[in-house]
Structure 1
């Protein structure tokens, strides 16, 4: 084999060195260009995404504020006081109307609320910040005359800017009696935007800026506008970026979107300096990497001259590599063993999880059983008390040898036993939440049956029960369940009137009323007791919630009432009759079978 001389080897290495340097220079130029473009595009996309996200948040916030005020004029135009004031049919004077408008403006945060005639002449103003000229120049009267919602950006008398929503006000004969306008303040919106270092602004359909955190931009066109051809716009395009005349060296990335229902366009600008920074950093890093690679290649080429002298070193390197492979194999074996152990641990965790789930299912079943038992205990107390009373009356009849009424007493005890059996079935149905067969039920009969159970208890406590249920009031319901609802509500009223005493104060009364209202039967149970606070009313129908002392109740009665009424396709609510206290439970049930089916 022919070998090269030392001079030939050195010449070959020099040529190779030159080729590597030329290739490195070409690669450096191409790689730096591609890296700068890639980094710049990625930074641009990131900033564009950030701008779009900021834009979406700002649009959502602005739309929420404007939507609240947009509905106010239409709602106020329906007020009889304002309509009557405009068409002259109301006795209210201007002072009363202004006070009303001031209260509404204070509650809503509006800058001003104005009443004007159809031509735009201001008749009343909440804060006297809007004059007739302002309304007429805004063209709001033309919009309201066409029964449209008027919109316009205004400058108020105190120099502040506001956006007006206006709605027509119809008179008694349906004609246009005037208009009402609500002024939305811009100050709070711009104050929030002022916290951002990025320009945020809104343009109208003419591309003029009317809302911004840059005050010097207000009233100027963002882009060239046909409505102002001689006015220099605030921006001009620079490729994918925009620039502003105030500082032509600064580039921005713009995100803009039209705001629904308002016809505005919101813009968010983000400083594009990070794009230049990313391009510059990517260029330097790529150049450094290419230089390092080139130096490494040159070093490797230089070392080729030492290959013959390093033959023994290569053998040592091979042995080192073999040891490295052996060590890596041992490490992989250890990792595999650890993975197998982790798999076993996870299998054990899954097994324990399944066992825990089974225990939770079992606990849930026990909770349901406990709730049913507590409910049966609560619902049996009242029939058992009645049975005890009738049994005591029967004993007294036997002792006094007045047995004529004994069959009636025994019959009533039998009825209570039947009712307890029916209550058990009903409570079981409540626990399972099934449907129930509904049929026409006379409300006066249901009230009479309920008073059989609870009347004696009321009389013992010195409480009068007044029933105002006319004959013929019929609900599409279930007689037994509706009777159970009445017993629970009247029993609660007795407990509220009596408190912790055996008897109630003098004048304690419970009123039961029923009436037909628009295809519905409205049944109310009202007492003149101490009533209840708002916190109690919010939780009154929750299971196991009670205000009674420990041992006096389970807190299930009103929960049962709520569920039964729902099964009967009705509703139940609690009210306060008046400032004197008391409580009123109002039950609404369908009066006809068709109404019940519609409720379902």
Structure 2
């Protein structure tokens, strides 16, 4: 096969490579960014849907818990004892108050827990369901409460507030009490305080941060509880103090500002919670690393002035988006590697396809005929059988043609060496003719000793001629390839012997760095000799016009264990184009009429038949260098443990 360097693609110029790498990097970054944004978009959409569902559940729970007592003030308004108590001072005021307290207590016990009380028009509690407790609301002045101011003006009201007696937060429902006898004049206010302890219990169970915010942007309930009475944004201290006195029984408001804007949070808004999160929400992240992004979703609670807000941590979305981006980049990289691998396979297969083009066309023609004539399964099977037979005959024909080409190449080499061989044989033949005539004359004279000496010399000359003709006969013999143990040094010597006269005539120095008996290969001796003769002949042709003619041989053991026989010359070497097409059939660098371009192709095929190979490249110092890869002698212990 050709040298591996000849099969590599021609490298692009360095500026083009840099531009290609830059474009590839931009493509990777663009894909990563697109994948990240797309995954982030869908992740936020899923998180928004989950948060909306959570808001629906929490909103329904809070609404059912807080507003289930909203109709109680209507029942209080209709009670005659309450109306009589509020109509004005009378002699039986204490009795009326006791009866009103008793009614409110029974109503409270029946409804299970809310505080019910009645205020006169000055804002003083004149009747209460908790009258039996020491910390009851009787006599308390609640005129500062917003719900009282709204109700006493004739408007039903509802507010979150903290009473100043027990300092318990609650949701107040206030309804004006009108006197039919006084032309429906407002004579008092009926109030129900709905406890929010159950709401607090459910609220604190939330894993993610969540808030309930009133109309003043004050946090009424929060998970974490440290944010209760915080404000969404910084507000004036005077306004917060006034609101704290009126509605929160003096509780300090706004000591913590979350500094977030919930405009547009009904559809989802990305906010950053402050650095001073409680530890269980920070996951031990240092505050210096900045605030974390959250998806804020808000929902107005029907029947109240509250907004419920839940926060969803966006870190899992970011991690998932980064993972998807990395997977997209990896997929693109695998795709590009697959494309490069496919292109490389096609490039390597192109040479083999060209060599098999004629056979492939015949096969395609046969397959086309088989497809046209195939009518059923039996015909398809028959067609396949015919195709197999055709391929076998074609392969046999190809092998026979290859053997004929090998034999023809041998005979061509023998023809080239005919002149040298004729010269080598002409001298011994002349000597034999002379000595034979002399021997006959000496025998005629009776000089037997001299005649015997002449005949002995004739015998030596005849053996010398046999030594010359023997390798030629062995080299020219047409025989099948049979692997055996072959001494590489002897094979080189036999090949050099065939060119002995030409080497002397052309003044070629030969360096044979191979010791006899040290390098034994497992191959066909005759065909290895044919390959060496072809390589030596090519080397001599390449050095014909060179001032220095040097031919060298060396043997090394490759990392794979094979023997690497190197044949180097000092000829004109190869161009890059010639090296790329060196082993293609009918490619030659010789002048027209001097070669068919089949020698190297045949030589490589010969070596591959018995497990070897042939590679080519430039020789150190100039010229060409061919490396013959030969399989080593099989181990006698192979197969034993």
Shorter-chain TM range is: 0.3 to 0.5
TM norm structure 1: 0.47
Larger radius of gyration: 2
TM norm structure 2: 0.44
